[in-house]
Amino acid sequence: ELLMNVVLFGTVMISSIVALKHFGSKVDRKVLNRKAMSSVVQRMSVEQFGKILQGESRSSCQIIDVRETLELQKVRIPGADIIHLPLSDSNSWSQKVLTGSLLDPEKPTLCLCHHGVRSMQVASFLVSKAEFDHVWNVEGGIDAYAEQVDPSIGFY
Protein backbone atom coordinates (compact mmCIF):
# COMPACT_ATOMS: atom_id res chain seq x y z
CA GLU A 1 0.00 0.00 0.00
CA LEU A 2 1.28 3.41 -0.88
CA LEU A 3 1.62 5.48 2.26
CA MET A 4 3.74 8.55 2.72
CA ASN A 5 3.96 10.26 6.07
CA VAL A 6 5.32 13.76 6.27
CA VAL A 7 6.61 14.68 9.71
CA LEU A 8 6.83 18.42 10.24
CA PHE A 9 7.64 19.84 13.68
CA GLY A 10 5.92 16.96 15.47
CA THR A 11 2.77 17.12 13.36
CA VAL A 12 2.05 14.12 11.19
CA MET A 13 0.21 14.70 7.92
CA ILE A 14 -1.04 12.06 5.55
CA SER A 15 -0.05 13.08 2.07
CA SER A 16 -2.45 13.48 -0.81
CA ILE A 17 -0.92 10.35 -2.34
CA VAL A 18 -2.74 8.28 0.29
CA ALA A 19 -6.01 10.01 -0.54
CA LEU A 20 -5.47 9.38 -4.25
CA LYS A 21 -4.76 5.72 -3.54
CA HIS A 22 -7.79 5.50 -1.24
CA PHE A 23 -10.28 7.46 -3.37
CA GLY A 24 -8.96 6.71 -6.87
CA SER A 25 -7.65 9.01 -9.58
CA LYS A 26 -10.99 10.77 -10.14
CA VAL A 27 -11.10 12.18 -6.64
CA ASP A 28 -12.79 15.55 -6.19
CA ARG A 29 -10.07 18.02 -5.18
CA LYS A 30 -12.32 19.49 -2.47
CA VAL A 31 -12.69 16.03 -0.91
CA LEU A 32 -8.95 15.51 -1.18
CA ASN A 33 -8.20 18.83 0.51
CA ARG A 34 -10.77 18.18 3.25
CA LYS A 35 -9.27 14.74 3.92
CA ALA A 36 -5.73 16.14 3.97
CA MET A 37 -6.74 18.92 6.37
CA SER A 38 -8.51 16.56 8.76
CA SER A 39 -5.71 13.98 8.77
CA VAL A 40 -3.40 15.89 11.05
CA VAL A 41 -2.42 15.25 14.64
CA GLN A 42 -3.29 18.55 16.24
CA ARG A 43 -1.48 20.05 19.22
CA MET A 44 -3.30 20.86 22.42
CA SER A 45 -1.86 22.96 25.21
CA VAL A 46 -2.19 21.73 28.78
CA GLU A 47 -4.33 24.79 29.49
CA GLN A 48 -6.78 23.78 26.76
CA PHE A 49 -6.70 20.22 28.08
CA GLY A 50 -7.52 21.48 31.58
CA LYS A 51 -10.53 23.40 30.27
CA ILE A 52 -11.82 20.28 28.55
CA LEU A 53 -11.35 18.20 31.70
CA GLN A 54 -13.37 20.74 33.71
CA GLY A 55 -15.98 21.46 31.04
CA GLU A 56 -19.03 19.87 29.53
CA SER A 57 -17.15 18.87 26.36
CA ARG A 58 -15.20 16.23 28.31
CA SER A 59 -18.02 13.71 27.85
CA SER A 60 -17.93 14.11 24.07
CA CYS A 61 -14.20 13.24 23.88
CA GLN A 62 -12.22 10.07 24.34
CA ILE A 63 -9.12 10.68 26.41
CA ILE A 64 -6.34 8.13 26.00
CA ASP A 65 -3.50 7.81 28.50
CA VAL A 66 -0.68 5.80 26.90
CA ARG A 67 1.58 5.62 29.98
CA GLU A 68 2.51 2.40 31.75
CA THR A 69 0.44 1.05 34.65
CA LEU A 70 3.22 1.91 37.13
CA GLU A 71 3.14 5.51 35.91
CA LEU A 72 -0.64 5.66 36.40
CA GLN A 73 -0.18 4.50 39.98
CA LYS A 74 2.08 7.50 40.62
CA VAL A 75 0.03 10.24 38.92
CA ARG A 76 -3.28 10.11 37.10
CA ILE A 77 -6.02 12.34 35.81
CA PRO A 78 -9.12 11.68 37.92
CA GLY A 79 -12.13 10.15 36.21
CA ALA A 80 -13.34 6.78 35.05
CA ASP A 81 -13.57 8.03 31.46
CA ILE A 82 -9.80 7.98 30.86
CA ILE A 83 -8.92 5.11 28.51
CA HIS A 84 -5.65 3.39 29.43
CA LEU A 85 -3.82 2.09 26.34
CA PRO A 86 -0.12 1.69 27.19
CA LEU A 87 2.05 2.21 24.13
CA SER A 88 4.14 -0.82 25.15
CA ASP A 89 0.96 -2.93 24.89
CA SER A 90 0.04 -1.73 21.41
CA ASN A 91 0.23 -5.27 20.01
CA SER A 92 -2.72 -6.22 22.21
CA TRP A 93 -4.96 -3.23 21.40
CA SER A 94 -4.00 -1.91 17.95
CA GLN A 95 -6.09 -4.41 15.97
CA LYS A 96 -9.15 -3.56 18.10
CA VAL A 97 -8.60 0.10 17.29
CA LEU A 98 -8.26 -0.64 13.57
CA THR A 99 -11.54 -2.58 13.53
CA GLY A 100 -13.37 0.11 15.50
CA SER A 101 -14.23 -2.16 18.42
CA LEU A 102 -12.18 -0.27 21.02
CA LEU A 103 -12.41 3.43 20.12
CA ASP A 104 -14.81 5.58 18.13
CA PRO A 105 -12.94 7.09 15.13
CA GLU A 106 -15.61 9.82 14.86
CA LYS A 107 -15.11 11.14 18.40
CA PRO A 108 -12.56 13.84 19.22
CA THR A 109 -9.59 11.94 20.66
CA LEU A 110 -7.03 13.39 23.07
CA CYS A 111 -3.76 11.52 23.66
CA LEU A 112 -1.66 11.96 26.80
CA CYS A 113 1.55 10.53 28.23
CA HIS A 114 4.29 11.77 30.59
CA HIS A 115 5.92 14.36 28.31
CA GLY A 116 4.01 14.14 25.00
CA VAL A 117 6.31 11.86 23.01
CA ARG A 118 4.63 8.46 23.36
CA SER A 119 1.21 10.04 23.02
CA MET A 120 2.31 11.57 19.71
CA GLN A 121 3.22 8.07 18.50
CA VAL A 122 -0.25 6.77 19.37
CA ALA A 123 -1.92 9.88 17.92
CA SER A 124 0.03 9.39 14.69
CA PHE A 125 -1.11 5.76 14.53
CA LEU A 126 -4.73 6.83 15.02
CA VAL A 127 -4.49 9.32 12.15
CA SER A 128 -2.35 7.37 9.69
CA LYS A 129 -3.45 3.78 10.21
CA ALA A 130 -6.87 3.91 11.90
CA GLU A 131 -8.03 6.93 9.85
CA PHE A 132 -9.24 9.01 12.79
CA ASP A 133 -10.03 12.57 11.76
CA HIS A 134 -9.95 14.50 15.05
CA VAL A 135 -6.88 13.66 17.14
CA TRP A 136 -4.98 15.91 19.53
CA ASN A 137 -1.71 15.34 21.36
CA VAL A 138 -1.44 17.06 24.74
CA GLU A 139 1.87 18.92 24.51
CA GLY A 140 4.16 18.37 27.46
CA GLY A 141 2.00 15.55 28.78
CA ILE A 142 0.83 15.03 32.31
CA ASP A 143 4.07 16.49 33.65
CA ALA A 144 3.37 19.90 32.05
CA TYR A 145 -0.30 19.62 33.06
CA ALA A 146 0.69 19.10 36.70
CA GLU A 147 3.22 21.93 36.57
CA GLN A 148 1.09 24.52 34.76
CA VAL A 149 -2.54 23.62 35.50
CA ASP A 150 -3.14 21.23 38.39
CA PRO A 151 -0.22 20.58 40.76
CA SER A 152 -2.55 18.67 43.10
CA ILE A 153 -2.25 15.54 40.93
CA GLY A 154 1.47 15.32 41.74
CA PHE A 155 4.68 14.73 39.82
CA TYR A 156 7.05 11.86 39.14
Tens of pLDDT, residue by residue over 45-62, are 999 999 999 999 999 999
pTM comes to: 0.76
- Type of residue at 128: S
Residues 6 or more apart in contact with residue 52 via CB below 8 angstroms: 58, 61, 110
- % of the chain with per-residue pLDDT over 70: 75
Which are the catalytic amino acids? 113
Average pLDDT score over residue span 78-103: 97
Calpha distance 119→15 (Å, rounded): 21
Q: Give the pLDDT score at 38.
A: 53
Calpha distance 80→93 (Å, rounded): 19
- % of the chain with per-residue pLDDT over 90: 74
pLDDT band (50, 70, 90) for residue 14: very low
Residue 18 has pLDDT above 90, yes or no: no
Residue 8 has pLDDT above 60, yes or no: no
The torsion region of residue 134 among left (phi > 0), alpha (psi -120 to 50) and beta comes to: beta
92-101 CB contacts, 8 Å cutoff, 24+ apart: 94/125, 94/129, 97/125, 97/126, 97/130, 98/129, 98/130
* Domain 41-153 in CATH 3.30.70.980: no
**End-to-end CA distance of the chain, in Å?**
42
Calpha distance 136→45 (Å, rounded): 10
Q: Where are the domains of the chain?
A: 1-39, 41-153
105-134 pLDDT, tens digit each: 999 999 999 999 999 999 999 999 999 999
Closest to 113 in 3D by CA, of 50, 71, 60? 71
Contact 96/122 with Cβ under 8 angstroms? no
Q: Give the pLDDT score at 32.
A: 43
